[in-house]
Amino acid sequence: MLIGDTRGPTQASISRIFTRITNIMSTKAAEEINMPSTPQQLSTSAQAFSRVTNFPPVIEAIDGTHVAIKAPSIDEAIFPGSTYDAYI
Total length of the chain: 88
Domain boundaries, the chain: 1-33
pTM of the model: 0.39
| Residues 4-49: tens digit of each pLDDT | 556 777 888 888 898 999 888 888 888 887 788 899 998 888 888 8
Q: Rounded to whole angstroms, what are the CA distances from 20 to 15, 49, 55, 58, 86?
A: 9, 31, 35, 32, 20
